Amino acid sequence: MYRTIATLFLWAICCTTISAAKPNLLLIVADDMGYGDLSCYGSQQIQTPNLDRLASGGVRCTNGYVSGSVCAPSRAGLMTGRYGGRFGFEHNLSHPEGLEDEFAGIPLDEILLPQRLKEQGYRTGLIGKWHLGESVAGHHPLERGFDFFFGMLGGSHAYFPTVEKNRLLFNHEAPQEIRTPYLTDWFTLEAIDFIQAEGKAKGMNGEQPWFLYLSYNTPHGPMQAKAEDIEQYAHIHNKTRQIYCAMQACMDQNIGKIIDSLESTGQLENTLIAFISDNGGSVEVSHAVNAPLRGTKGTFLEGGIRVPTIYHWPARLPRGKVYDKPVISLDVMNTFVIAAGGKVPSAGETEPRTGRGKNNLPIYDGVDLVPHFRGETKEAPHDTLYWRMALRGAAIREGDWKLLLPASQLPQLYNLKDDIGETTNLIQDQPETAARLLGKLVRWEGTLERNPLFISDPNWSQYNKRLYDKTFSLEQPLPDSEEDIWSF
């Protein structure tokens, strides 16, 4: 009996120590990954046991969103905790004539997530894709709060780099050798080195806590995979889909290596992991599957903005929980900073206002999700979510209602609770609801601080129209299906 009491006492002390220590923070972002391309989100073609492991050991969100339907504006929101439209970042990066160099990226007066975490004593690293500016020295990750950077400053990269042909950087220097042939594997090796590094500075609890932004470019094009991974999916008839599945499986295997490394070094229990995709899967280019959602990357249909969202933190979060209230990638800022012991401005504003908030402070849009996941509050994290890409469209979700305003189609109103695939436009049946949501969207637009600083080329308008006009499959393909559900 005394041994049992002593064991319980030691366990209580251990739990108290873990909860008191600052957690390590790991943000893993996939690139253009389909909502339906994890087995824990319904895929019948791709097995993702390691991401499933995170989901079963943490919180899996079924209404997880990003703030942009393409890469760069989504990542701008992720790093700031603010809708990109607030600071003029609504489109993928470009540098039109007349735009000052410093604005061809996240404006330098925006405070980014790693900067806030450094204030809390964290060692910070970025491995993988940046895509948030490189026109001036101040855009470089090392100038935006990261202590270490390995990856590419732009939006894509070939998966089999050579010393002679690559756009990779170690901090500011080009690599002198190729550590391993396939880029996803290489990013993982560098990530494991970062998380296993002995604390280079000592904090209150020994080793310095760390924050790692692991920004895979998988499964973004070009569609390139290792032969052994392609062989696993030789039964899939569509070649592009075959390569996509191989890339996805490879990423999952690498995430498994990272989980194993955290576990073997005793860090997994008190590491807060968030996993998302930067936007919905690209149906045309990479043959992603967003089913049961309609749409694709580049649209504000659900398939363009709703993404797999997983949070895992054994020391604080419930295990095996499915959370169905809407959350958004903007919440990573608050969730991580508050977990680290810091403070960020409260989520949103209760009353619309023009420009910045009180005392000229910026309006922040995220919330701390931990109390919601733990059941400490029954309120939804967000009453309303917004999206806008100037000249391409806009959308608003309030509760179960979503108003969609494509630039190339008439307005559409959907009830997502009853119609996740957005197949029945209710705007003629519910004109008052549509009008109310439109008014709310316009008021939100009035709180934005800048007009768009750059806009994608005009030819994208026709492409964007084609994305909205396509008929999308709302069902998962079977493992050996020969049906082509991707061609336009």
By annotation, the residues acting in catalysis are 71, 131
* Cα dist from 140 to 82, 167, 172, 333, 453, whole Å: 20, 14, 9, 20, 19
CA distances from 306 to 191, 297, 366, 417 (A): 27, 10, 16, 14
The closest of 357, 358, 382 to 372, measured between CA atoms, is 382
* Of 385, 400, 311, 379, nearest in space to 348 by CA: 385
**Residue 322 to residue 40: CA distance in whole angstroms:** 11
Distance, in Å, from the CA atom of 354 to the CA atom of 272, rounded to the nearest integer, reads 35
For 247-282, b/e burial (b = at least 16 CB within 10 A) is bbbbbbbbbbebbebbeeeebbbbbbbbbbbbbbbb
SS3 assignment, position 310: strand
Cα–Cα nearest to 367, from 321, 332, 339: 332
Task: Tell me how crowded residue 179 is: count the other CB atoms within 10 A of its CB.
Answer: 11
**Cα–Cα distances in angstroms (integers) from residue 464 to residues 120, 155, 292, 461, 473, in the given order:** 42, 19, 21, 5, 18
- Is the dihedral angle over the CA atoms 127, 301, 59, 257 positive or is it negative? negative
Q: CA-CA distance, 14 to 447, in Å (whole number)? A: 47
Q: Which candidate, 124, 251, 131, 280, places its Cα nearest to that of 183?
A: 251
Q: How far apart are CA 336 and CA 211, in angstroms?
A: 9
Contact between 115 and 126 under an 8 Å Cβ cutoff? The reply is no
Contacts of 155 (CB under 8 A, 6+ apart): 71, 72, 92, 93, 129, 131, 220
Give CA–CA dist 324/38, Å, rounded. 17
